Amino acid sequence: MHTKYLNAKTIWTGLFCLFLSIHSWAQTNPVILVLGDSLSAEYGLPRNSGWVNLMDAQLKKENSPWTIFNASISGETSSGGAARIPALLQQKKPGIVIIELGANDALRGLPLSETEGNLKKIIRMAKQSGAKVLLLGMQIPPNYGQEYTSKFRALYSTLAKDEKIEFLPFFLQGVAERADLFQADRIHPNVEAQSIMFKNVWGAMAPYQHLLKQANR
């Protein structure tokens, strides 16, 4: 009887230590969630050559405990992102959420109010989960009409200001004006452009750099 008690105690002690180990791992490996479209999903690029992977490599280089989960899907719209974000927040429990959506809305000519509403929903759900947010601003060519183009650009800065989140004014700064940095479709950036896109996002992450050196968010 005494031996059985000791065995049971040993088993429970081992399970408790395993729980603590798993719990500690979860705490010391916080997640950056990237919610985007083809610009972040390596469309037309060699695997692991996109800007998200470059950021992951930078985190590893700096011995950061943070990891990246890239939930980007080619063709994704703001409504698709809004539909997917609840499950992603619950499953991944990110400490930081990077939002790169809206370009496909504009390409489809969707109402700006719809895009703004969806992005606001994503931002607020991320904030309510306790995550920090970085919104990547997008712009579209002037051939969509001056009014639509200017209002589309402005909705990102307005959201960032109203929701009090970090903001990158133009994700493709330094890329959009150079034809040699695009694939044959003239829509998707090529491999050479990825380092510029990464630097744009990494620079916008400056307010969170202190967090990236910590295990807990």
Name the DSSP letter for residue 209. H
pLDDT band at 183 (very low <50, low <70, confident <90, very high): very high
Residue 214 has pLDDT above 70, yes or no: yes
- H/E element, 31: strand 31-36
Please tell me the number of Cα atoms within 13 Å of 117 on its side-chain side. Answer: 7
What is the Cα Rg of the chain in Å? 21
Q: What is the pTM of this model?
A: 0.86
pLDDT band at 6 (very low <50, low <70, confident <90, very high): very low
What pLDDT, on the 0 to 100 scale, is given for residue 11? 56
The DSSP code sequence of 141-179 is -GGG-HHHHHHHHHHHHHHHHHHT-EEES-TTTTTTT-G
Residues 195 and 54: beta-carbon distance below 8 Å:
yes
What pLDDT, on the 0 to 100 scale, is given for residue 216? 55
Which of 2, 180, 185, 210 is catalytic? The answer is 185
Instruction: Give the Cα separation of 196 and 176 in Å (integer).
Output: 11
* Region of poorest pLDDT, from 83-87, 122-126, 212-216: 212-216
Per-residue pLDDT of 117-159, as tens digits, reads: 999 999 999 999 999 999 999 999 888 889 999 999 999 999 9
What pLDDT, on the 0 to 100 scale, is given for residue 51? 98
Which of 2, 21, 23, 38 is catalytic? The answer is 38
Is residue 188 among the annotated active site residues? yes
**Residues 6+ away with beta carbon under 8 Å from 13:** none
What the chain holds in terms of domains, given with CATH numbers, is 29-212 (3.40.50.1110)
Mean pLDDT of 10-23: 51
Residues 171 and 100: beta-carbon distance below 8 Å:
yes
Residue 13 has pLDDT above 70, yes or no: no
30: tokens are 């916080």
Residues 166 and 133: beta-carbon distance below 8 Å:
yes
Per-residue pLDDT of 37-62, as tens digits, reads: 999 999 999 999 999 999 999 999 99
Is residue 38 among the annotated active site residues? yes
What pLDDT, on the 0 to 100 scale, is given for residue 12? 58
